[in-house]
Amino acid sequence: MKNIFKLIIVLLFSTGLVTESKAQLFGKTKCKSFATTYALGLLDTLQYTPNGRYTALKLYDGDEVRMFKTISRDLDYRAVVALSNDLPEKSKIQILDFNHKVLKTNEKGKRSLVWDFTSETTQRLIIAIKIPAHKDENIEQTGCVAIMFGVKK
């Protein structure tokens, strides 16, 4: 049922019948607020200057997201990937190198990952987020994900 609902919404978008509903706009605003308050707090702006860009997305259970980030050599970075509490506790956050080697994973039961690192070379990292599907397909879980990078002052 849940998948049928998602499919209908996608079809409505693709046929141009619906642009963004108020509910979706609310979701976007909520996720932006989550990013600029909670995730920014984890970044700790006293120690790290935010790089000036952020990602805030609304995710559903069963969703998988991959983002890329080019990191520059010899800068001291803090990466923050945060999920809101309405997403399942078993959600997985991973940071991988471009050969898909896992460099960092969130701790079991933690919905956020804060990682301080530096790289000897400029390279692209992959940020992978996997929200497990709910066992009961009639129950839908949605929440926000925020991704931010900061550079040490």
Interface ranges with another protein (CB under 8 A): 1-2, 4-5, 8-9, 12-13, 16-21, 23, 28, 32, 36, 45, 49-55, 67-70, 72-76, 97-99, 101, 103-104, 115-124, 138, 140, 147, 151, 153
Q: How far is the CB of 60 from another protein (least distance, A)?
A: 12
The dihedral formed by the CA atoms of 79, 84, 85 and 89, expressed in degrees to the nearest 10: -60
Burial profile 99-117: b = 16 or more Cβ within 10 angstroms, e = fewer: eeeeebebeeeebbbbbee
Nearer to another protein, 65 or 132 (CB): 65
Separation of CA 98 from chain center: 18
Nearer to another protein, 85 or 99 (CB): 99
Cα 58 from Cα 44, distance rounded (Å): 23
Q: How far is the CB of 68 from another protein (least distance, A)?
A: 4
Q: How far is the CB of 34 from another protein (least distance, A)?
A: 13
Q: How far is the CB of 61 from another protein (least distance, A)?
A: 13
Nearer to another protein, 92 or 103 (CB): 103
- Please check whether residue 79 is in contact with residue 94, taking contact to mean a CB–CB distance below 8 angstroms: no
Dihedrals phi, psi of 43, to nearest 5 degrees: -70, -30
Nearer to another protein, 108 or 153 (CB): 153
